[in-house]
Amino acid sequence: MIYSPPERALAALHVGRRGAGGGIVGSAVGVLRERFRIDPGYAIAVVGPGICGKCYTVSREDALRFPKEVRRFDRGRWRLDLSAFIVRDLAAHGIRRRNIFSSRLCTACAPSLFFSHRRDGGVTGRHWTLAIVRPDPRDAE
């Protein structure tokens, strides 16, 4: 989620490796800038639960699309820390680090808390997120 309080502009994203690698975070910030005239310096962002860098194994080809700081080869598999990449990408697009909050919760490591497509082989439940921007009471005046 990316939210800019001055304009009350909100973007909700579901980011996987393809979207992240394809620049979805920058695209969202771009839409917020162009359509809602936000200044990313005033925006806040929250990165929700997702598979962690220990659990998320990807192909070599996918791993090498990301900076070395968020990927590693370990125990014979390429692993990607997608949350870390998203945090870096949010900051690269002007959102201040102190305004980026990451849950760092892993959907695969915590079976009592989360469903995980990867962990459960595709037979699993679904998560959802709800975000609401309430009408500004000053608009009613």
For Zn ion, give the closer residue by CB, 15 or 28. 15
CB of 53 to Zn ion, least distance (A): 8
Least distance from Zn ion to the Cβ atom of residue 73, Å: 17
**CA distances to 94, 101, 134 from 45, in Å:** 11, 6, 18
Exposure string over 22-32, b if 16+ CB within 10 A, otherwise e:
eebbeebbeeb
Q: Is 58 in the site for Zn ion (CB under 5 A)?
A: no
- Residue 82 is a binding residue for Zn ion (CB under 5 A): no
In the complex with Zn ion, which residue's Cβ is closer, 54 or 117?
A: 54
Instruction: Pick the stretch among 57-65, 88-96, 99-107, 122-130 that binds Zn ion (CB under 5 A).
Output: 99-107
Asked if 95 interacts with Zn ion (CB under 5 A), we say no
Name the β-bridge partners of 47: 102
- Draw the binding track, 106-135, toward Zn ion (x: CB under 5 A; -: no contact): x-xx--------------------------
Q: Within the chain, how many helices (H) and strands (E) appear? A: 4, 7
Residue with Cβ nearer Zn ion (9 or 108): 108
What are the beta bridge partners of residue 102?
47
Size, binding site for Zn ion by CB under 5 A: 6
The CA distance from 18 to 10, in Å, is: 22
Q: What are phi and psi of 14, to 5 degrees?
A: -110, 115
The reply on whether position 84 binds Zn ion by CB under 5 A is: no
Alpha carbon distance 42, 54 (integer Å): 32
Q: Which residues contact Zn ion (rule: CB under 5 A)?
A: 52, 54-55, 106, 108-109
